[in-house]
Structure formats: structure tokens, C-alpha cells
Structure 1
Amino acid sequence: MTERIKIIELSDIILNFYKGMVISEVKDDVVFEIEHVEQLLKICNEVYEGAEYVYISDRKNNYNVNPTIYFELKDVKSLLGIAIVSQRYEALKIANFEKQFSPVPFDIFSHMDEARAWAKTLL
């Protein structure tokens, strides 16, 4: 595993930054909205200084995502892909629904090491 560059803890989300990938953990009962996306994009742009990266969502907690957030990503050149990681059937089913809204490569995994390997193929 590559070394963590930085960790940022926000009120709703914990972000772990690695070379070329950020792994997020959204806290329980959050409704993930456009404001969250804007905040994340701003932070990722600062940390990666405009360089390309892959976003990995570690969905171990139970929260909701507004699928329209993906429309915000269509002009984000530095975002190469989104991976969703969960072992919960319900979370995987929802991620599969979200996938149709994503303008960037979007894949779903049940293990973090699979998501990291996929991310490396995009970088």
C-alpha cells in the first residue's frame, strides 16, 4: 500500500489522501449533497494541485447520496474515476443505480485492494 500523504477530517467526511487517490469515509446518516461535492473538489484540487486522481468511496457507514451530484463532475478534468467499496448488499445496489449518472469511469468493489488496483490502472 502506498503511503498516506494527508488526512483531513470534516464534519461529515474523513478523507485519506494517497498518491493519485483519495479514500473517503462518509459518516453515518449523512445526506451527501452538491455542497459536499464542491467542498471535496476544492480540497482535492488543493491537495493534488490540479494533478489527476481517483476518488474511492469506502461505504462502510449508512448514508444517502443525491444522484444529481454526479452532474457536477462533468467538467472536472483531474478526476479520472470513482470507485465504490462496500460489502453491504444495499450499498452496492444503490451504487449500481448511481453509476448511470457518472460522467467519469465508475466501478463497484467489495474489497478496498480491488478498488486500489483498479484506480492504479486509470492513473
Structure 2
Amino acid sequence: MITSYNFYFCHIEIYEDYVKAIMKEGITVLPEHNDVLLLITEKHFKNKPFVYITHRINSYAVNPTVYLETAKIPNVIGFAVVSADHRQKIQTKLEKAFFNKEFKQFDTLELALKWKDQMIKKYSDQKIV
């Protein structure tokens, strides 16, 4: 891990090629929360591709229009939701409709990280061509 941030609505960890966010219990994720993500991406991922991973260990709500804004961040190449909860899997299917980039749900963080590696490699391979 490079660094981490603790905000009123989430805890974010920054790694070389991904962000891992854990939202706080009971919050509602709103489009304005993307302002924080934008600042972090400018600071840590300037012109560098990365994957956003949300580890859903707490119960909270998501306004799905947040993904319309997240998708505008040019170097976000994928979004992963980590949760084995059946309700979260259903919610993720709805959220995916609002995000026009790669968006996947995983039962474990390990599976999400393997997918992240594939996404980074795929992006790198496309840039070479």
C-alpha cells in the first residue's frame, strides 16, 4: 500500500494500480463523493490506468448515478465490487447499468485483484498496439 485516507464517508487505500474503498456503515454514496475520488486520482494516478475496488463489508446505500460521474474519470479502466452477500449481487447488476466501462462483482478480494491484474495487462497490451 502506498497510502490511505480516512474520510467521513469511507476509508480509501491507494496501491500502485488500484484503489480500494470501504464505505462507512449507513452512508449513502452520492455523485458529489466523486470529487474526493477525482482529487485522489489526480494526485496518485495522473495519466496512469487504475482499477477501483469497493470492498462492501458494511451496509450502505448507493445512488447509482454516482457511476455516471465515476465513468468520466478517463484513467479508471474498471470497477470491481467485492461482496458475497446475495443482496449486493442483485444491487451490483443494477449499478452496472450506469457504468459504461468494465464492471464486475466478486465474492472475494483475491478474485477482484486477479481481475484487476488482467485489466491492467489488457490495457497495457492495447496501448502497445
Establish whether TM, by shorter chain, passes 0.5: yes
Off by >4 Å, runs of 4+ in structure 1:
none
Q: 1:53 aligned to 2:45?
A: no
Q: Which moved more, 1:50-59 or 1:71-80?
A: 71-80
The aligned residue for residue 116 of structure 1 is 113
Local SS of the residue matching 1:61: coil
- Select the structure of larger CA radius of gyration: 2
Local SS of the residue matching 2:48: coil
Q: 1:97 aligned to 2:94?
A: yes
CA RMSD after TM alignment: 1.1
The aligned residue for residue 8 of structure 1 is 5
What is the one-letter code of the residue matched to 1:75?
Answer: K
How far does residue 116 in structure 1 lie from its aligned partner after superposition? 0.4
1:70-89 alignment runs, 5 A limit:
70-89=67-86
Contact 1:45/1:51 (CA < 8 Å) preserved in 2?
Answer: no
Structure 2 spans left out of the alignment, 5+ residues: 121-129
Instruction: Give the alignment's TM-score, normalised by structure 2.
Output: 0.88
Structure 1 spans left out of the alignment, 5+ residues: none
Contact 1:15/1:22 (CA < 8 Å) preserved in 2?
Answer: yes
Q: 1:106 aligned to 2:103?
A: yes
